[in-house]
Chain A
């Protein structure tokens, strides 16, 4: 009799308790907030782009599978990983071809990792970034190698190609339509694109936001296409890799033309 009562009691009560337990635990499992938020930044020294690091491990490389995609030809497909472990930051080189350096010191792939501190300058191939654990609201431009890129002086608005106004002696870029010229000596690299903060801003939907990059090397200047949708022409030839610039070279992006002028020629 007692057993029968127990069985009948169990049949009705057990599903109710099971419902509370499984649904209660399930909702707790599904709802729980696990977002890390932004826990660090890397800032592109070429254009001031602030890239937030929102995971404890962030892979960096040219491949679209990476968390941070850097469309530079000198960056390997899987170049490096920035990781936060035990409250400390580290950078790992994942056997990149062109290497990774932190404040000029090479991170050896075999040595596993190198410590990373706020303000450290990281070089992925030729792409320079600065790591910040906490980005101040107004970037302290003294910590950035090329403060000129952040001070806003390099923005002008003249017609469709917007060149900064800075006509003195030195290497220049010339807007072939308006004839305006822009001295590039003070820059390590010049970003061309449709984004409003590009050094050379082109108002056109057919131009990629970050379209092409002109960079300074010891021996001169080079241009690379940043995997743009419509491509970049140099003297009518598509730019498929880092290509040196010579006097009077014409860079063509979606019909917009810019001329490269060497000084004293």
Chain B
């Protein structure tokens, strides 16, 4: 999808988005002007980037951004159809996320420059988590929301970017012999703070990312097995200490039909309404799941199954597999170990997070309350997903093949 090949794909994405946006623009006799604005600006943004990207990165593929734009578009329409008043807010997050993507891509285009940001980012990440832990109020069982000037921020989402950035910059070949211990301490601190914040899902994602980073560093399966065993023992200890909290989260797992009105409420509704959607869905905005709590966040996959159909839901899941395979393949030819490590960690994070979300709401895994990357509503999550995409883009040597090497 390089060169002129991007045009038909972008055209198809725009047609797809036109058909879907039209369904939230014309609701009854009224015209949703916000949805019109979002559609026009979002489409302009997509095409502008396609042209600019083709000029900047001559041999680069636009497939990665294509998938991200596609998923983001679906997310915006789900928000517009479920809770139109939040559409503009979500779109602002998409714009900030996209700007973060471009900014981070240019920041890490020079590995030596990126290296200079390693320590400040690491310190900022820890400080942000500590501030959140101190000042955050209990929101749905977790202390992970920070409210600054009326804007709520989920710090752990933003720290994901710093976690991979610091990890890749520390564990890359030139640095790895020096700062390995420092990075292990940094990782343990982050995961411990997330546990204290009761953000179990994000703590799991961070641990998985750490395992990927450790594997990229050592290339040794045995190290990973020992690491996982250590983590399992640590987790058992935490479960014993904080049994009230953790066990409650796992109580309904595989028993959701025993608690259809309490602990298994969300999962049972997702399973029921997803089936009613069938292969083609019942139509955008026509579903019932949107009335369930966190429909556009944790349960968004269920909403898509019900309203958009299983086929599109399956394709969304497949897109994360494609991104993951791409991130691994790119690592082999990346210009630096920094890009290889960051790419695999980001690709693995997307796949792991999407698996936690999809299998969580369908009761294959415990419901951990994580978002579906690019699709779920949530400002911090959207910004973080777009920023993480920069790591995968930077690892693809075609990105830089047209210019400097």
Contacts and interface: CB of A to CB of B under 8 A. Distances in A.
Interface of A: 2-3, 6-15, 17-26, 28-30, 32, 34-36, 55-57, 59, 65, 78, 81, 83-87, 92, 94-95
Contacts of A29: 61, 63-64, 67, 322-323, 325-326
A28 B323 CA distance: 11
A32 to B, nearest CB: 6
Interface string B293-321: 00000000000000011011001101101
- Chain B interface mostly: helix
- Chain A interface mostly: helix
B178 A95 contact: yes
Interface stretch (B7-15, B144-152, B190-198, B383-391): B7-15
Most A CB within 10 A of own CB, among B67, B220, B398: B67
A18 B283 contact: no
Contacts of A17: 12, 15-16, 19
Interface residues of B, number: 63
Contacts of B309: 11, 14-15
A10 B405 contact: no
A178 B70 CA distance: 76
A22 B318 contact: yes
18 contacts: A7-B23, A10-B284, A12-B280, A14-B16, A15-B279, A15-B311, A19-B315, A21-B67, A22-B319, A24-B9, A24-B63, A29-B325, A34-B332, A34-B334, A36-B397, A56-B334, A87-B404, A94-B177
Given A7-B286, A57-B336, 13 more contacts: A6-B19, A10-B20, A13-B19, A15-B280, A17-B12, A18-B16, A28-B61, A29-B325, A30-B326, A32-B398, A34-B330, A56-B336, A85-B336
Given A14-B16, A34-B330, A34-B397, A22 B176 contact: no
Contact of A21 (B13, B286, B323): B13
Nearest to B172: A57
Contacts of A2: 26
A81 B361 CA distance: 46
Contacts of B22: 6
Contacts of A13: 19
Contact of A81 (B173, B283, B308): B173
A259 B220 CA distance: 41
B311 A78 contact: no
B199 interface: no
A159 to B, nearest CB: 42
Contact of A57 (B20, B27, B323, B337): B337
A57 B332 contact: no
Nearest to A11: B280
Given A18-B312, A29-B63, A29-B325, A81 B15 contact: no
Interface string B212-249: 00000011100000000000000000000000000000
Contact of B329 (A20, A32, A65): A32
Contacts of B398: 32, 34
Most A CB within 10 A of own CB, among B16, B64, B318, B332: B16
B111 interface: yes
B310 to A, nearest CB: 9
Nearest to B17: A17
A85 B400 CA distance: 12
A21 B312 contact: no
Contacts of B318: 22-23, 26
A28 B315 contact: no
Most B CB within 10 A of own CB, among A17, A78, A94: A17
Q: Which 10 A-B pairs have the closest CB atoms?
A: A26-B322, A34-B333, A7-B283, A29-B326, A25-B63, A28-B63, A28-B1, A15-B311, A56-B335, A11-B280
B12 A20 contact: yes
Contact of A25 (B9, B284, B405): B9
A10 B220 CA distance: 49
Contacts of B9: 20-21, 24-25
Given A25-B1, A28-B61, A29-B61, A84 B405 contact: yes
